[in-house]
């Protein structure tokens, strides 16, 4: 067993974990843990994009769209915080090097997804998550105060006097690390790895939730699991390939085996999922179809190159034929309960990203709010950590003895 000493330890290297690290002062000594390799995080898989408040006139409709999708079980304060912080987040991502799609005049291009009353989603082709995560990772990797460890999994937290005092982790070779830290951030993603059919990486198994429960840290809405309506149907084992909701936002339509439309494709995800499952049961089939016949070829080529190529490899040509789709587990709206600063019910323990439940999404997440929510509340976690550590310096002697 090895003892390590840091100002902040972060479990998870997706956008939430990375942005937390980037928003902390460069004077803080930070350790980041990745359960497997750095690329195996769900942030890399986000296709559609990231929402943004286009202007003040858009506020009311954006707020209502988010609340309606969440069945009005959203925490209103969190929704307001997210929306009002969105333009600053987008500006910061651009400053860091994220290449969002642009119109001919140089302004941001926007796409639309289900349950949005208007286009307000910034995107990079159909690999927005990969673009943002790659940029954030490259920026964090440059920082001399940040250490990153691959194949190192958080197995528990350290607790002293009722507060979190760090983490326990296991390396690939089985060595146990006791990481003593003033503040700890859990950014380990969702629970998709527990499902037979999921768009998530198999490594996402709710680690943070189990550890939080073990220590009496509050959890919230653990039954709020979102199913994505359109994943490429396949009999092959492994992760399901997502067909972005923005495909339907750009005109792709759902068809049954008789070639008939059976649902408004731009309704909230849970409604569309229910309609697909109902149609499948009525027809006695294992999938339905998604047709790109109404989507201009140029849009397919420029906006959905990854989807086009993946489908082509599976034997389907988007230009010529519909593709088979089926719903699959996609996102976890519940998780470790946090306040508006992303702090859990245990002092000095934070949760961000899909690991956390700050109430933004309610019972059902509005499309493309996930990346935005992760970044907004990661920034708030970092700001709160700075406040609690203000005026302090890293000193090994300051850490209290902790036990798990």
Q: Which residues of 37-56 are buried (b: 16+ CB within 10 A; e: fewer)?
A: ebebbbbbbbbbbbbbbbee
- d(Cα 296, Cα 183) in Å, to the nearest integer? 50
Among 134, 174, 135, CA closest to 39: 134
The two tokens of residue 224 are 């709020």
Mode of pairing for the β-strands spanning 2-11 and 30-33? parallel
Among 106, 105, 116, 98, CA closest to 51: 116
Mode of pairing for the β-strands spanning 225-232 and 288-291? unpaired
Strands (E), 203-252: 219-220, 225-232
Please list, in sequence order, all residues whose beta carbon lies within 8 angstroms of the beta carbon of residue 138, skipping any fewer than 6 positions away.
97
The yes-or-no answer on residue 84 being catalytic is no
User: Which residue bears the tokens 């629970």?
Assistant: 191
Among 258, 259, 355, 276, CA closest to 11: 355
Q: What is the CA radius of gyration of the chain?
A: 21
Mode of pairing for the β-strands spanning 253-255 and 335-337? unpaired
**Crossing angle of the two packed helices 128-141 and 76-96, in degrees rounded to 10:** 70
54, 112, 182, 269: the active-site residue: 269
Which residues are known to be catalytic? 269
């Amino acid at each position: 067993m090895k003892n390590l000493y840091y100002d902040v330890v972060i479990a998870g290297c997706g956008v939430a974990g990375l942005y937390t690290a980037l928003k902390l002062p460069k004077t803080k000594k930070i350790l980041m843990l990745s359960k497997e390799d750095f690329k195996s995080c769900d942030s890399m898989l986000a296709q559609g994009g990231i929402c943004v408040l286009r202007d003040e006139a858009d506020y009311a409709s954006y707020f209502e769209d988010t609340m309606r999708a969440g069945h009005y079980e959203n925490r209103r304060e969190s929704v307001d915080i997210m929306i009002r912080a969105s333009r600053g987040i987008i500006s910061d991502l651009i400053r860091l090097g994220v290449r969002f799609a642009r119109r001919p005049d140089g302004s941001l291009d926007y796409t639309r997804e289900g349950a949005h009353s208007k286009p307000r989603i910034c995107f990079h082709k159909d690999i927005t998550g990969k673009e943002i995560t790659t940029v954030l990772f490259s920026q964090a990797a440059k920082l001399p105060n940040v250490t990153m460890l691959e194949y190192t999994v958080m197995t528990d937290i350290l607790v002293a006097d009722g507060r979190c005092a760090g983490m326990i982790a296991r390396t690939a070779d089985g060595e146990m690390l006791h990481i003593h830290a003033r503040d700890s951030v859990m950014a380990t993603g969702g629970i998709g790895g527990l499902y037979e059919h999921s768009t998530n990486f198999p490594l996402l198994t709710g680690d943070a939730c189990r550890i939080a429960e073990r220590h009496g840290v509050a959890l919230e809405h653990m039954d709020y699991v979102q199913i994505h309506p359109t994943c490429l149907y396949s009999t092959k084992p492994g992760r399901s390939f997502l067909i972005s909701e923005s495909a339907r936002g750009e005109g792709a339509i759902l068809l049954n085996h008789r070639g008939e439309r059976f649902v408004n494709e731009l309704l909230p995800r849970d409604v569309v999922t229910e309609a697909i499952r109902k149609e499948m049961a009525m027809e006695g089939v294992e999938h339905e179809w998604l047709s790109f016949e109404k989507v201009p070829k140029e849009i397919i080529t420029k906006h959905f190159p990854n989807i086009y190529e993946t489908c082509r490899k599976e034997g389907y040509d988007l230009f010529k034929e519909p593709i088979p789709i089926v719903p699959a587990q996609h996102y976890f709206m519940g998780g470790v309960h946090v306040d508006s600063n992303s702090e859990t019910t245990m002092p000095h323990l934070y949760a961000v990203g899909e690991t956390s439940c700050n109430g933004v999404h309610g019972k059902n997440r509005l499309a493309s709010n996930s990346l935005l929510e992760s970044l907004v509340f990661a920034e708030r976690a970092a700001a709160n950590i700075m406040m609690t550590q203000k005026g302090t310096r890293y000193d090994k002697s300051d850490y209290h003895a902790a036990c798990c």
